């Protein structure tokens, strides 16, 4: 069935088809690609996007964010906290209740056993200390049992603290 003539015809058909495709490529390149394809552009339209260099946005300080804090925006962030904390006085969960936490002494809630990292006698939860704690609890108090990853946005932290304080 496969003698040398069949193999020769198959190779000739393959070479013929290849030759037809190569000649078609050469003809289409000659017809459709202009001779000045590599020439520089005749005109340039300025869109202004290359000239504008975005200035880095200055990070707000906590005091600036606290002045414009929005408690209603903080209510959306509260969902991250309510899994472990409550805003009702005396109702402790996995974490202590946060009713009146602003200006309350750190580590002093009746009925809640704090981890050793938060036993800081005499200090109070100011909004600035709360913000630093909410940003990264493990960095502020190494060894705390609070396993929260933190909130990086200073405005979000200010809004959350304003919400907690407004629920008093």
What are the boundaries of each domain within the chain? 1-33, 62-166
- Secondary structure (3-state) at 113: coil
pLDDT at 27: 92
Residue-wise pLDDT tens digits, 56-93? 767 788 888 888 888 888 888 888 888 888 888 888 88
Q: What is the DSSP letter of 55?
A: P
User: What are the backbone dihedrals phi and psi of residue 129, each rounded to the nearest 5 degrees, phi first?
Assistant: -70, -40
Which pLDDT does position 53 carry in this prediction? 62
Rg (CA), the chain: 35
Contact criterion met (CB below 8 Å) for 149 and 123: no
At 84, list the tokens: 């472990």
Each residue's pLDDT tens digit, 2-61? 789 999 999 999 999 999 999 999 999 888 877 777 788 888 887 776 555 666 767 788
Class of domain 62-166: mainly alpha
Residue 68: how many other CB atoms lie within 10 Å = 11
pLDDT of residue 2: 76
The 10s digit of each residue's pLDDT in 112-157 is: 887 766 766 568 888 898 888 889 888 877 777 788 888 888 999 9
């Amino acid at each position: 069935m496969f003698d040398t003539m069949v193999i020769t015809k198959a190779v000739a058909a393959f070479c013929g088809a290849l030759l037809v495709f190569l000649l078609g490529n050469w003809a289409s390149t000659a017809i459709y690609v202009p001779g000045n394809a590599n020439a520089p552009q005749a005109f340039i339209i300025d869109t202004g996007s290359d000239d504008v260099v975005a200035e880095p946005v200055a990070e707000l300080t906590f005091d600036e964010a606290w002045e414009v804090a929005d408690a209603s925006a903080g209510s959306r962030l509260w969902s991250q906290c309510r899994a472990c904390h409550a805003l009702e006085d005396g109702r402790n969960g996995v974490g202590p209740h946060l009713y009146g936490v602003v200006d309350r002494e750190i580590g002093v809630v009746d009925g809640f056993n704090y981890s050793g990292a938060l036993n800081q006698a005499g200090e109070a939860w100011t909004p600035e200390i709360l913000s630093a704690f909410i940003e990264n609890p493990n960095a502020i108090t190494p060894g705390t049992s609070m396993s929260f990853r933190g909130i990086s946005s200073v405005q979000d932290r200010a809004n959350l603290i304003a919400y907690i304080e407004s629920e008093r």
